[in-house]
Amino acid sequence: MKENEETAGELIGEIFDYFARVEVAAIKLAGNIKKGDKIRIKGATTDFEQEVKSMQIDRKEVKEANSGDDIGIKVTERVRRHDKIYKL
């Protein structure tokens, strides 16, 4: 069964970098996100859900971010460039 965007949630961004040592994904946002939101990260070999517990802009902790922002979030699994971020 092929999933469509509706079952995956609302597309809100794309990963442009991953820092394995600190397990942080750098994301270019195309939508809004806030701490506590549940997200799904999906790519060719990536597919998992998690809650946003830590989010930063320019190394400063923030509670929410908007479309156009570049953010870093702590992730529970390895992610890759071009993986998509969906808000559930």
List pLDDT tens digits, range 30-71: 999 999 999 999 999 999 999 999 999 999 999 999 999 999
Give φ, ψ of 18 to 5 degrees: -140, 130
How many CB atoms neighbour CB 17 within 10 A? Answer: 14
pLDDT category of residue 5 using cuts at 50, 70 and 90: very low
Residue ranges per structural domain of the chain: 5-87
Q: Is 20 helix (H, G, I), strand (E, B) or coil?
A: coil
Q: Which CATH superfamily is domain 5-87 in?
A: Translation factors (2.40.30.10)
According to DSSP, residue 79 is labeled: -
Count how many residues are written for the chain.
Answer: 88
* pTM score: 0.89
